[in-house]
Structure 1
Amino acid sequence: MSAEITINQFANLENGTRLHFASAGEKGRPLMLFVHGFPEFWYEWKVQLAEFGQDYFAVAPDLRGFNLSDMPTDVSAYKARHIVDDLRLLIAHLGYEKAVVVAHDWGGAICWNMAIALPALFEKLIIVNSPHPYLFMQALKHDPGQKSSSEYMNWLRNPGSEQALAKDEFTLMDGFFNGMGQEDAGWFDAETRAAYHACWARGLTGGVNYYRASPLHPPTEANSGPLQLKLDPADFQVKVTTRIIWGENDKALPKTLLDGIENFVDDVQIQRIPEGSHWVIHEQPDRVNRLIRQFMQQ
């Protein structure tokens, strides 16, 4: 039996940001927070909300810049620390001190940062296809294959990329779901496509600004990106119980990004899905749900 999903809820946060969120389950149960990536929105987690709303208060926000949440115009408003602050304040707004956090892609990048800076906010962290920031920085600096597979990030950082993404009824955007490890995204059916197009039609600049605001991108002649950063690995330690689900057929974020993760996370387990792509949440939602359940029962 699935829990009913409630949408069109808004949180006015203390920092002035207004976030839209969807939820399932009863408030007062343990909070499970689902954090989407690019180019998605709360809808990425609809199967998970219906499942975990049965015994959690399951909440999936639209991050700032996406769908029905506020879309600041300043690129600097999309630095990771501001998104972390949104999530911190959302947890408090919902009446909680901590949450189980499940995050994918850009949501994972934000939540790695949040786990490093604010571990007390977490019961557990579950990451799906999102690299630890220090390991990703090292790969961008030293791994030619990673530099090549991440070149799309530099394209997205360019002025006007959002106009190119919107051209011809979001043809390029639709292609993201067919070009990152799988040939035919069967899950991206007409209903799902319509939902995503409605989201994208509300604006793409906010989502693209995550890339523009981040120092992590492949180096170019004009911008050395992560090569400029002198970071101490000790500053990137995660003290939160962490479980990772990784679709190994991810063309942008290969499985080699997991190498060395045990040096940064005290308590980590990895579940690899060899045939899963970057979009494994959509491709195998029931399997992902089972794995999350197993992690929660440990």
Structure 2
Amino acid sequence: MARRCCVPRRVMVAARALLFWALVYSYCGVCACIAGLRLLWSIGRRPGETFRWVVRENPPACLNDPSLGTHCYVRIKDSGLRFHYVAAGERGKPLMLLLHGFPEFWYSWRHQLREFKSEYRVVALDLRGYGETDAPPHKENYKLDCLIADIKDILESLGYNKCVLIGHDWGGMIAWLVAICYPEMVTKLIVVNFPHPSVFTEYILRHPSQLIKSGYYFFFQMPWFPEFMFTLNDFKVLKSLFTSQATGIGRKGCRLTAEDIEAYLYVFSQPGALTGPINHYRTIFSCLPLQHHEVIMPTLLLWGERDAFMEVEMAEITRIYVKNHFRLTILSEASHWLQQDQPDIVNKLIWTFLKEETKRKRE
């Protein structure tokens, strides 16, 4: 009898797996068709500009601004990869480690590097495959296990055994996972515009609206075509992500300057610079859902209500996975790029959370 019951169960598991991958690749095909139509439309309207690509040999001055910190490199023994980071604040102070999202790099934390260096050793990392950090060629090198191990190894290489960990977007996903897998290494967790990974995977399957907003996850499963689409019209997609009304930074006082935009264009227009970042997404469906869920350290979740990529309902649901003090702050009129959009408010909220937690410990 037991043997008979096992057969239907195995069939059910296989059927669910087949349905899941059918969904992934079907939606991937839909996204590819939409991208192809946009390409044809661009060629029809401006054929001369569609394939124009400015060669950027020299970085803009803002990337070497000494007020942001010092450019440093560390080579990890186990992986052999060399990581680039910018560090501000004195050595020996508590470590604050900053993990950027996509399509960003260490520079997206410029406001926080200046702000927190008075009391912390602030390190803004270029994640594996980004910027000046090494980019392994195979997508298997970008599985979540590898990305989590990177943060553990970097922490140890910097001479620390714990840190305040802050992540935005994809860096927020990694920050959640590091906090789950290595809780002893994270004293306080701060995540910007990314829910707990279990919330994300469960919510996206039940809410078609979020599935549509996350369409780029599926589009990025294709080889080479996503990278090609980013290069069109001199990286128009990249510029649009940060500046358009739909997805960009909305407040006039905090729009990216021309030099800021040029910094992003310089980094991502280098040969092969997009493949590593997009490879982060090419293994995501084989790594989720998670086996372990709970976060046991004090956690702050900051969210821009006008996020074009993440529905705000996921922020509140995240609360159930944090088995410690949890604070959620949703900022109205703020975009997905929250720490660049409203840096003064974000910095103030982080200071408040850090000092509250210090006071709570003393009591």
Q: Normalising by structure 1, report the TM-score.
A: 0.90
Matched, 1:198 2:262: no
Structure 1 residue 184: Cα displacement: 7.3
Q: Which moved more, 1:23-32 or 1:80-89?
A: 80-89
Matched, 1:164 2:234: no
Structure 1 residue 296: Cα displacement: 0.5
The answer as to whether partners of 1:251 and 1:277 remain within 8 angstroms in 2 is yes
The answer as to whether partners of 2:165 and 2:186 remain within 8 angstroms in 1 is yes
CA distance in 2, matches of 1:116, 1:176: 30
Query: Quick check: which has more Rg, 1 or 2?
Result: 2
Q: Which residue of 2 aligns with 1:219?
A: none
CA distance in 2, matches of 1:7, 1:158: 37
The answer as to whether partners of 2:183 and 2:296 remain within 8 angstroms in 1 is yes
In the alignment, which of 50, 65, 71 is matched to residue 8 of structure 1?
A: 71
Unaligned runs of 5+ in 1: 217-224
Matched, 1:251 2:308: yes
In the alignment, which of 351, 357, 361 is matched to residue 293 of structure 1?
A: 351
CA distance in 1, matches of 2:193, 2:70: 26
CA distance in 1, matches of 2:302, 2:121: 22
Q: Deviations over 1:186-235 (max 9, x none)?
A: 5222110111111102310011111111118xxxxxxxx96xx5x66xx2
Q: Which residue of 2 aligns with 1:236?
A: 293
Matched, 1:269 2:327: yes
The answer as to whether partners of 1:104 and 1:130 remain within 8 angstroms in 2 is yes
In the alignment, which of 127, 133, 136 is matched to residue 69 of structure 1?
A: 133
Q: Which structure has the highest helix share of the two?
A: 2
Q: Which residue of 2 aligns with 1:222?
A: none
In the alignment, which of 180, 191, 201 is matched to residue 247 of structure 2?
A: 180
Q: Which runs of 4+ in 1 moved over 4 A?
A: 181-186
CA distance in 1, matches of 2:194, 2:308: 13
Q: Which residue of 1 aligns with 2:29?
A: none
Matched, 1:213 2:283: yes
Q: Equivalences for 1:29-108 in 2 at 5 Å?
A: 29-108=93-172
Structure 1 residue 152: Cα displacement: 2.1
CA distance in 2, matches of 1:183, 1:273: 13
CA distance in 1, matches of 2:281, 2:191: 19
Structure 1 residue 71: Cα displacement: 0.5
The answer as to whether partners of 1:181 and 1:250 remain within 8 angstroms in 2 is no
Structure 1 residue 182: Cα displacement: 5.2
Q: Which moved more, 1:288-297 or 1:6-15?
A: 6-15
Matched, 1:284 2:342: yes
CA distance in 1, matches of 2:237, 2:285: 24
Q: Deviations over 1:69-113 (max 9, x none)?
A: 001111011111111111111111111000001110000001111
In the alignment, which of 192, 195, 206 is matched to residue 128 of structure 1?
A: 192
CA distance in 1, matches of 2:171, 2:103: 11
SS in 2 for 1:290: helix
Q: CA RMSD in A?
A: 1.9
Q: Which amino acid aligns with 2:67?
A: E
CA distance in 2, matches of 1:290, 1:61: 22
Q: Equivalences for 1:131-150 in 2 at 5 Å?
A: 131-150=195-214
